[in-house]
A and B are shown apart, each in its own frame.
Chain A
């Protein structure tokens, strides 16, 4: 997103994550225009420092579904961020929160769809291959 010219602020409880942001960058994350805050998404102070009040988009993509669901709702209801996206691994819950007005991305669902598509493609190729062979 930073490379696309957007202003990006990253909040993470692990200070070491900062190094990961710089992988593949020629200068530091900050020099490239990024912002980094150490803290958890449940800490209002950390969210404020990270600049949630001026954010147009808020993405909750920690490795915990519960955390993502809670902080996405905080961003949406308390800070009224216009676009809020939450990563939810559990497809059933992703579906329900989607009906509750939360924009969700379910990596499990995406992976299932990709796998299904691949399997279908391979089996249909095989079938058509067999048909050709028969003919």
Chain B
């Protein structure tokens, strides 16, 4: 049977409730499952029949929620074991193609990897990324880690002291296995050409082989040592 656009969200906490509301507003068919009776009654006042009372780690609850026709299951309870197992049975038993799990304790990520539940979302990780972005010491943000594809995309801010300021793209000595893919300047982005000149304040995206990352950061003066404080802070 072809699966349409039906989604199951498990856990009506702040994340689950708001997510469900957003999904419904953007036209999706969603059922939210909540195991706490009181919380269910609160949420039910707004979402009515779109919220179901039950413990989604029990298979019959998932079945009653119509998991066999769900295209996606999103498990965002506060319990990592629940999220992990709900996604595991959704995929392995009911053939749900897409699952998203919330990881509450980042230490549990390894268990999600082990049981093949991907992708997962960890609020701690997201906040860590924001900190890395906001604290200049890091200067370099991993946007996307495609571990299996052996490729990653990083975001760099070109500082005033950077050696690459004023250089044309075709003059850059980019490490092998790395490539600049876009430049954001003055709020608008473009794809650089060979004669694009880099300016201080440019935000550039680079796609690279993870093994080239050290060389790239060294080249751009990010990697300590001779870089000094100014370089570290500005690039």
Contacts and interface: CB of A to CB of B under 8 A. Distances in A.
Nearest to A90: B58
Interface stretch (A2-10, A16-24, A25-33, A62-70): A62-70
Contact of A92 (B59, B80, B81, B115): B59
A70 B111 contact: yes
Nearest to A67: B81
A74 B108 CA distance: 11
Given A69-B85, A92-B58, A78 B114 contact: yes
Contacts, number: 42
Interface string A26-65: 0000000000000000111000000000000000000011
A43 B80 CA distance: 13
Interface string B78-107: 011110110001001100000000000001
A66 B57 contact: yes
Contacts of B110: 44
A120 interface: no
Contacts of A131: none
Interface in B45-83: 57-60, 79-82
24 contacts: A42-B80, A42-B81, A43-B107, A44-B110, A65-B57, A66-B57, A67-B81, A69-B81, A69-B85, A70-B81, A70-B84, A70-B111, A73-B115, A78-B114, A90-B59, A92-B58, A92-B59, A93-B57, A93-B59, A93-B89, A96-B59, A96-B89, A96-B93, A100-B92
Interface of A: 42-44, 64-67, 69-70, 73-74, 77-78, 90, 92-93, 96, 100
